[in-house]
Structures are given as structure tokens and as C-alpha cells.
Amino acid sequence: MKSMIDEYARLIVRVGVNIQKGQTLVITSPIECVDFIRLVTKHAYNRGAKDVYVDWRDDKITRMRYMNAPYEIFDVFPKWHADAFEDFAKGGGAFLSILAPNPGLLDGVDPERIELSHRVQSSGFKGFMEYKLTSKVCWCVASVPTKAWAKKVFKDLPDDEALDMLWQAVLQTVRADTGDIMGAWREHLDNFKSRVEFLNSKRFKILHYTAKDTDLNIELSHKHVWGGGGYYSQSGTYFVPNIPTEEIATIPVKTGVNGKVKSTMPLNYGGALIENFSLTFKDGKVVNFSAEKGYDALKRIIELDEGSSYMGEVALVPCSSPISQLGITFYNTLFDENASCHLALGAASPGCIQGGNDMGKEELRRLGVNESGIHVDFMVGSKDLDIIGETESGEQIQIFRAGEWAF
């Protein structure tokens, strides 16, 4: 397993962010993942990185802050933090975010503190988010197992055994168990191409989702673009923003979503677990919602800013995806979204519009591209999900049948 973990770190550096010689790598990571970050750092320097900067997080300190700091501190976001990330982006840096969720971390914390903190942080990082959404920088999100996360996934196992099991699952999803991780990823990324080309050739105008408790129409812009696997930055560097990745995605028209959709997997948002929730859309906006668990957290997402109550992504993933076949709920959106078709509330990527990365904000708004300080994926895929696409000429084509590609 040790050699596979090292290969995973190398994959993130060479395929994920695709670090270039003379480039700075900026890493955001929980402090528990220090050993893995050292491996990433080694491979970054071996690849020719100029520098590696790590922005550490600590869940225990985060909770202490929420429980003990005065309320007014959450209305302040340190400008130096946002400025630092924007400066790295302006300098051509690459960005890696390590996710190691701690579900239940914020249980018992005053929801108003969490909401205020998320809103202020979202606003503070808005400038940096634009660099990512327009592919001005290469970036990647990956995950590293921790004991807190492992115990949530494998709650009946002892700590060390749970951690070992989670590592095995993660390494399998990122193809580190194939003996040739780089070759496996070349083949995997190539496999996206034919479906992406088919979807783009059809010029769908409307997607109609139907399943148990779901009946949803999603309008697509006449300039929408489907993408999957990797993307090119504006400087021409190919990078893979999510490891693992199984999705093909585009964006909806902001005001073109109508109907009801039911989640099919739990959503872990900032340490709060949201389960069995439904959203009702009218003219793009969430006008009603419910949740069996985590209602307040869902409310925080929807009310964070004007754009967080609108949709920013449509992503297709078959139920037969390798992650889905594991039969594990990871309680980690990065993995769970790649086991299931999903949608996202919040910011849309201009890169999913033809020429979008070169357009101004007003032009993007006219094309229905949503703006928000957040982007939160939630899972809607199931074995009874059907998706029919209507083309601009009025032809209806089955895209998904019973949770699987229909073509």
C-alpha cells in the first residue's frame, strides 16, 4: 500500500495539477494529512516546481473557534488570506485542495455562526474563485483518508482497520491498484472523449429528469459545452480538476430549471450532514426545500448569497461507475458525486460556454451563467433515473435509462 500511496501523490502532481517547471504549487490541507503532503511536495519538486506553499487546517481548532470566539469575529475575513491566494494565481501558481471530511464536526455549533462564517469566507475568496472557474489556473481536488472520516464510513471497525479499509477504497477509485496508474489514467481520460463528442453534437435544449420523487426540466444554453475528465487552462496546460473523476458535465441556464428533485445520497457540507432532501425549482430558483436531517445546513447553502439558490452544474455519471460499484457511501462529495448523477447549487463554470472564459460578466449573465461564492454538488442518480434530452430541432433522445447511459 505504501508504494500505491506514493503513486497516488505522483498522479496528483503530474496529472491533477500537472505542475510545470518553475511553477509554485499551493496546497490547502488538513494537518492530519501531513505525511501525504510531504509525498506530494517531493513529487512537485522532482517535477521542477519552484516552490510549494501549504495552507494548513485543523478541525479541532476550527471547532474550538466556533464554540469559543466572540460572534463578531465571524463577520471578518482576513484580507491577507484572500490576497495571498490571488497573488499566487496572478503569478501562475497551481492549486491543490485536499479534502478529508469530518462528518459531525460542527454538531452543536450555533448555525448562525456557521452561516456567517461561510458567507464571509465565500465573499472573501470570490476573486480567487474566478481564476479557477475560468481556468486561468490549474487546480485539483483530491482526498486523503483520516481516522475521523474512516470511522464515519466504516463505523463498526476499529480505528486502524477502518483507516486501512478507507485507504484501500480510495486507492482503488484512483486506479492506484492497477500496477500502471499513469497508463490507467491515460486510458480513462481517453474514454471520456466519445461520449463528450456525442453530447456536444446533439445540441440539447432541454433535459428532462424523471425518477421516484423527481420530475425536473433543465434548460441548457444554445452555447453550452459538455466536458469530462481533464481541461485546458488558459495557458494551454492540461489538468484534471477532480481525482477521482467519472462525470461528464455542463451548466444550465440560470432561470431555466423547473420542477422537483430528490437527493439520493447524503451531502456533507462543512461538517454538517444533510440527508434525504428535496428541492423545488421555479424559473431556476429554489422556492421550496425539505430535509429529514440537516435542514439548517441546507438552508445555509440556499440562502448564502443570491446565486446559491440557483443551479450551476449538471453532471452525468452512470450507476455502473467504479465508485458506485464499491457500494460505499463515502460522506465525501468528491467521491459520492462520482458514483451518481449530480447537480450543483451555486457558481457555474464559464468554461462550459463556448468562448466563455474570454467573455465579460455581463455577456455571461445574458447567456444564463450563474454567479455565486459557492458551488455545492448533490447526488440525484439512481437505478430508476431516466434522462431525455430534447434537441434544438425538437428531436427527443434518451440519454440515461434506468441509471445507465442509453447510447
Q: What is the pLDDT of residues 53-77, one digit of tens each?
A: 999 999 999 999 999 999 999 999 9
Cβ-count burial of 223 within 10 angstroms (0-12 exposed, 13-18 middle, 19+ buried)?
middle
Residue 197 has pLDDT above 90, yes or no: yes
What type of residue sits at position 165? M
Burial status of residue 358 (CB atoms within 10 A of its CB: 0-12, 13-18, 19 or more) = exposed
What digits encode the pLDDT tens for the residues 289-340?
999 999 999 999 999 999 999 999 999 999 989 898 899 989 898 998 888 8
> What is the C-alpha separation between 347 and 350, in angstroms, rounded?
9
Report pLDDT for 133: 84
Q: Are 297 and 275 in contact (CB under 8 A)?
A: no
Confidence bin at 101 (pLDDT 50/70/90): confident
Instruction: Write down the pLDDT at residue 230.
Output: 92
pLDDT at 270 over 80: no
pTM of the model: 0.84
The whole-angstrom separation of Cα 395 and Cα 28 is 46
User: Who contacts 394 (Cβ-Cβ below 8 Å, separation ≥6)?
Assistant: none
Residue 269 is predicted with a pLDDT of 87
Q: Specify the 3-state DSSP secondary structure of 84.
A: helix
261 touches 214 (CB < 8 A): yes
% of the chain surpassing 90 pLDDT: 85
pLDDT for residue 122 is more than 90: no
Give pLDDT, residue 57.
Answer: 95
Write the pLDDT tens digit of every residue in 226-246.
999 999 999 999 999 999 999
Q: How far apart are CA 47 and CA 34, in angstroms?
A: 20
H-type alpha helices, 19-107: 34-47, 59-68, 79-90
Residue 264 clears pLDDT 80, i.e. is over it: yes
User: What pLDDT score does 106 carry?
Assistant: 85
Separation of CA 317 from chain center: 13
Residue 211 has pLDDT above 90, yes or no: yes
Which among 293, 286, 287 is positioned nearest to 376, based on CA atoms?
286
E-strand ranges in 212-271 read 214-220, 227-228, 231-232, 238-239, 248-250, 252-262, 267-269
The cell 440527508 sits on which residue? 275
CA 171 → CA 176, 267, 271, 319, 331, distances in Å? 5, 22, 24, 20, 17
Give helix 295-302 / helix 111-124 axis angle, nearest 10°.
30
